[in-house]
Structure 1
Amino acid sequence: MSDLDKTEVRRVSEADYDDVMSIRSTLYGGYDYLPFSYRSLMTHSHNEGYAAVINGKFVAFCFVSKVDGGETAVSRASRVNKQYEGFGVYKALTLFIEKHLFSDGTVLNGAVVYSERNPKMVIATSRGEYTLLMKRTVIVYKVDCEKMTVLSQGTHPTKHTQILNAVDLETAFKSSKVCSTLFPEERIVCNKVPYRLKESNIPLIISEVSLIVGTTDPECSLITCGVYYRSESGHTYSLEVYGNCDFIKEHLVLHFQHALQCCHKEVVIHFFCNENEASKIGIEMKEMKFRNVDIQFPTVFVVEKKIK
C-alpha cells in the first residue's frame, strides 16, 4: 500500500457477489458458508455487508446482522485479502462500520463468534475488550447419504421429540426452568449468530434455512438448531446442541431428513456443544458407525462488547 492508493468503504449489495468472493478463498478450514449463503443473507433487512475497496479492488469484507431488536450487531464472515494483511485495512473497515452503523444510538452491543485460530480475538478477549459469553466444543463427522437415509427411515422419534415452531420456541424462552438449564448464558446460537432469548429474535432463528428440534419431557430437555449449507469442503450441516444429549439420535433423524432435501452426497456434520456433552455425542455417532474428522478449530468462542 502507498499514500497514493484510493481507499473507500462501501455497503455492498447482492450484485457485488463476485467482488466479495474474490477477496479470499479457502477460509475457515474450507467450511466458509458465505459463498453459498451470501445472496439469501442479503435479502433480509437486518443484514448489511460492507467492503473495503482499494483502487477499485475489494480487499476486505464484513457482514453484520442486527439482532435483539436491533440492540446487538453481530460481525460475521469476516475476511481480508492476503496481500493487505497487516496494513490495518480490516481495522479501518470495522471502525467505519461502528461509526456509521451505530451512530443512531440503537445498537448497544457488538458480538462475534470466532475460533481459537483467531489469535487477535483471543488476545482481545483475554484483555477484557470483549466479554466471553459461551465456549463451545466442536466435533465433526462425515456421514454418507445412504446411512442418513437408513437411519431416518428406520428410526422414529418418540412423541416427545418434534420440530419446533415459533410458538414452541416462545414457550421455551418464557420458561425460567428451560432457560436456566439449556441456556445459562442467556444466548442461543443459530447459523453462526448468537441471539438473546427474546421473542423478537424468533423469526430470525426459525428461518427458511434452519431446523429447530426439541425434546419435551415434559419441558424441553434438549434443543438442537440445524443449518445446511455448501462450502469448499462439500455439503455441510451445522448443528448447535443445547441440553441433555440422551435423545440426540432422535434429533439426528429429523435433521438428516432436513439435510436430505438438499443433499444426496456425503455430508460433514459440525456439532457445537457443551464440552460435557461432546463425549455423549461421540459415543452415539460411533455406534452408528459415522466417521470422526479432525478439524483445525475444536473450540469456538461467543463474545460481546458494549458499544456504549
Structure 2
Amino acid sequence: MSVSFQSSAEEDVGVAVAVREATVGDYDQVLSIARVYDGRDYLPSKYKHLVTSANCKGYVGVVDKSIVAFLIACIVDDGTTLVTRAGRVRSDYRGKGVYGQMKQLVRKQIALQGRVEHETFTTSDINYGKNNTKFKKIFTERFSKTVGSYKFQISDVCQLHLDSSPGLQLLDHVAFENLFSSPATCKYLFPHNKIVVDWVPLKLLSTNISYILSSTSLALASLSSDCLWNDVIYSLLTIGSYYMCSSCIAYQLDVFGSDVTYLRHHLMAHVQNIVRLTANENCGTVWLEIYTNGDVDRSLIRSVLCEFCRPQSINTTTIMHVLEKPLKPSNVKTFTTCKDCEGTHKLQTSCNNTML
C-alpha cells in the first residue's frame, strides 16, 4: 500500500501540498529540486541508501503533479526519536509554506505510530540565525559544536608514517559497546549524553552503533597516560565519514573529548584514510570539516594539518546547533489511491476497491 497524505487550503496558509513516500525512481526529480551545499551535496551518493533503509524514509512534496520538496525522516534511539535530514524545496515555492506543511504532515504521520517521543535535528549557524525566532518558539537547543572547514589537494599531502606506538585504537562494535557501558567515559566524551556523527544526534545506545559504524566511517580512540583518568577508557575519540560529490571528496570528522595528546596521530590517520579512499577515484580536492567542542584549540588543528598538507581555512568559526522538541500524536488526514476508481480515501474509511 502506497500511503500519501495532504494538506488543504482551508487548513494551511500558502500552497496546498500532497506528500508521499519517495521512491528510488524519484532520484532525478529530487536532485533537480535545488543545488545545495555549494556543490557538496551528500544526497546524490546517499539517496538510494536513505530511501531504502529500514530506519529511514524519504518524502516528496507534490504540487500540481510536480515534486517541489523533499526530506528524509530517520527513526533512531530504539524507535523513540525522529531525525529529519536533507530538506530542500524548489526555489519558486520557497516562502509559500510548502516545506513547513510537508514537515508538519510527516511529523504527524510518524507521531501516530506511538513510539516516537522526540524530534531532533542539527542545523548550521547560518540557518539558525535566519530562523532563530521560529526555532526558539518550537525547539530547545541542547548543545552546539564548533565547525572548522579546510580545503586541500590530494597532491599536496606528504608521505605519512604513523609512529610505531601512536596509542590509537580502531573501534569496532564491541569496543563501542564497552565505551557506552563506561559511565565515566561517556560523561567525559559526551557531556550532553548524545553523540553527533555526520550531523545526526544519537543517544548512547547499543542499537545506534550500526549508524555510527557505517561502511563509510572510521572510528579511532586513544587514552593519554599523562594523568589519572578515573575509569575513563578513552580520552579522545574521532569518527570520520565521507561521501563523494561532484567537486571533491567531503570528509566529516567528529571529535569527542579535549585531550589533544594524540590529536596529531588522529588527524594523520584520517588524512591517510582520505588518501586511501581517493586512490582509485578521479578526485583531487578534499573538503574536510572538523567538529569539536569549545575546549579544542582550532589553531592547534590547523598547525597539525599544516605538517602534512597545505590546508586552506574556508571560514573563521561556524557552529552546528543541536535542537530538540517533544513529538506528540495528533490527527492527520491520511489517504491511499484506489486502483479501480483512482480516487483518494482516508485510511480509516473502508472501500470495496483494491488499495495500492
- Please give the TM-score of this superposition, normalised by the length of structure 2: 0.79
Cα shift at 1:125: 3.5
Q: Distance in 2 between matches of 1:149 and 1:49?
A: 41
Report the counterpart of residue 302 of structure 2 in structure 1: 282
Cα shift at 1:253: 3.0
**For residue 214 of structure 1, what is the amino acid of its counterpart?**
A
Task: List per-residue Cα deviations over 1:108-148 (Å, max 9, x = no partner).
Answer: 11011101111454323433x21212211111122332454
Report the counterpart of residue 9 of structure 1 in structure 2: 19
Report the counterpart of residue 266 of structure 2 in structure 1: 251
Q: Distance in 1 between matches of 2:205 and 2:57?
A: 21
Cα shift at 1:176: 1.3
Report the counterpart of residue 324 of structure 2 in structure 1: 304
> Which portions of structure 1, spanning 4 or more consecutive aligned residues, are displaced by more than 4 angstroms?
none
Report the counterpart of residue 154 of structure 2 in structure 1: 145
| SS at structure 2 position matched to 1:180 | helix
1:229 aligns with 2:243: yes
1:190 aligns with 2:197: yes
Q: Which structure has more helix as a fraction of its residues? A: 1
**For residue 248 of structure 1, what is the amino acid of its counterpart?**
L
1:108 aligns with 2:117: yes
Quick one: structure 1 residues 69 and 121, their matched pair in 2 at CA, closer, same or farther if it must change by over 3 Å? farther
Quick one: structure 1 residues 294 and 225, their matched pair in 2 at CA, closer, same or farther if it must change by over 3 Å? same
Report the counterpart of residue 97 of structure 1 in structure 2: 106
Quick one: structure 1 residues 257 and 41, their matched pair in 2 at CA, closer, same or farther if it must change by over 3 Å? farther
1:294 aligns with 2:314: yes
Report the counterpart of residue 263 of structure 1 in structure 2: 278
Answer whether contact 1:224 1:241 (CA < 8 A) is retained: yes
Match of 1:22 among 8, 11, 32: 32
Cα shift at 1:222: 0.7
Report the counterpart of residue 335 of structure 2 in structure 1: none
Answer whether contact 1:29 1:296 (CA < 8 A) is retained: no
Q: Distance in 2 between matches of 1:305 and 1:272?
A: 23
Q: Which is higher, the Rg of structure 1 or of structure 2?
A: 2
Q: Distance in 1 between matches of 2:63 and 2:167?
A: 55
* Structure 2 unaligned blocks of 5 or more: 1-8, 10-14, 226-232, 329-356
Quick one: structure 1 residues 72 and 149, their matched pair in 2 at CA, closer, same or farther if it must change by over 3 Å? farther
Answer whether contact 1:61 1:80 (CA < 8 A) is retained: yes
Quick one: structure 1 residues 257 and 294, their matched pair in 2 at CA, closer, same or farther if it must change by over 3 Å? closer
Report the counterpart of residue 39 of structure 1 in structure 2: 48
* Structure 1 unaligned blocks of 5 or more: none
Answer whether contact 1:115 1:297 (CA < 8 A) is retained: no
**For residue 239 of structure 1, what is the amino acid of its counterpart?**
L
Match of 2:134 among 104, 115, 124: 124
Quick one: structure 1 residues 67 and 228, their matched pair in 2 at CA, closer, same or farther if it must change by over 3 Å? same
Q: Distance in 1 between matches of 2:203 and 2:324?
A: 12
**For residue 303 of structure 2, what is the amino acid of its counterpart?**
I
Answer whether contact 1:64 1:75 (CA < 8 A) is retained: yes
Q: Distance in 2 between matches of 1:213 and 1:250?
A: 10
Answer whether contact 1:161 1:215 (CA < 8 A) is retained: yes
Q: Distance in 2 between matches of 1:149 and 1:164?
A: 26
Report the counterpart of residue 221 of structure 2 in structure 1: 214
Identity %: 31
Task: List per-residue Cα deviations over 1:19-68 (Å, max 9, x = no partner).
Answer: 1101101x134332111211222332001110101122111111111110
- Please give the TM-score of this superposition, normalised by the length of structure 1: 0.90
1:168 aligns with 2:175: yes
| SS at structure 2 position matched to 1:261 | helix
| SS at structure 2 position matched to 1:185 | coil
